[in-house]
């Protein structure tokens, strides 16, 4: 298995995992804000769908986008535009497919290229390609925690 295949497989497994956990939630809990301030499950899946959408450009241009206050406000507005899980799921699936196509077309040498990342760090393109899967795994855990807060303690 190549690094590209591994990253793409992880993206698919992570995507299916976050979708599974979100779908098992009652409709009213998808938009529930824990303690009145926490992020909703729908918001977290929307983040994954939107972030996935910009990673292919980062990999192609070898440059991170400018993330200023205006960009963050637009990002928040885009997340809020999602009103149901079906729309988020459709975008997450299509975005993951596009990202995986981009990753599969990268060479091993390209994966080793490092570019400036947020916070003054440098990340390899392999690490950036892997960011989507990692982000979905993180948010799957957050969604599972939300489930425990409303009483769903089932392991699945």
Task: Write down the domain spans for the chain.
Answer: 3-149
The whole-number pLDDT of residue 66 equals 83
The whole-number pLDDT of residue 18 equals 98
Distance CA 45, CA 22 (A): 8
pLDDT at 132 over 90: yes
Distance CA 82, CA 46 (A): 7
Q: What number is the average pLDDT over the span 122-131?
A: 96
Q: Is 154 left (phi over 0), alpha (psi -120 to 50) or beta?
A: beta
Higher pLDDT, 98 or 118: 98
Q: What number is the average pLDDT over the span 137-149?
A: 95
Domain range 3-149, its CATH number among 2.30.30.90, 2.102.10.10, 1.20.120.450, 3.40.50.300: 1.20.120.450
Categorize the per-residue pLDDT at 34 as very low, low, confident or very high, splitting at 50, 70 and 90: confident
């Amino acid at each position: 298995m190549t690094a590209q295949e591994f990253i793409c497989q992880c993206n698919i497994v992570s995507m299916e995992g976050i979708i599974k956990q979100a779908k098992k939630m009652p409709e009213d809990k998808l938009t529930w804000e824990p303690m009145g301030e926490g992020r909703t499950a729908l918001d977290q899946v929307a983040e994954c769908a939107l972030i996935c959408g910009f990673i292919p450009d980062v990999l192609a241009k070898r440059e991170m986008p400018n993330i200023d206050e205006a960009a963050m406000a637009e990002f928040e507005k885009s997340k809020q535009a999602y009103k149901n899980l079906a729309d988020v799921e459709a975008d997450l699936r299509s975005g993951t497919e596009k990202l995986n196509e981009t990753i599969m077309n990268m060479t091993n040498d390209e994966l080793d290229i490092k570019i400036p990342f947020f916070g003054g760090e440098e990340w390899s393109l392999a690490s950036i390609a892997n960011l989507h899967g990692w982000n979905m795994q993180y948010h799957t855990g957050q969604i599972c925690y939300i489930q425990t807060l409303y009483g769903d303690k089932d392991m699945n």
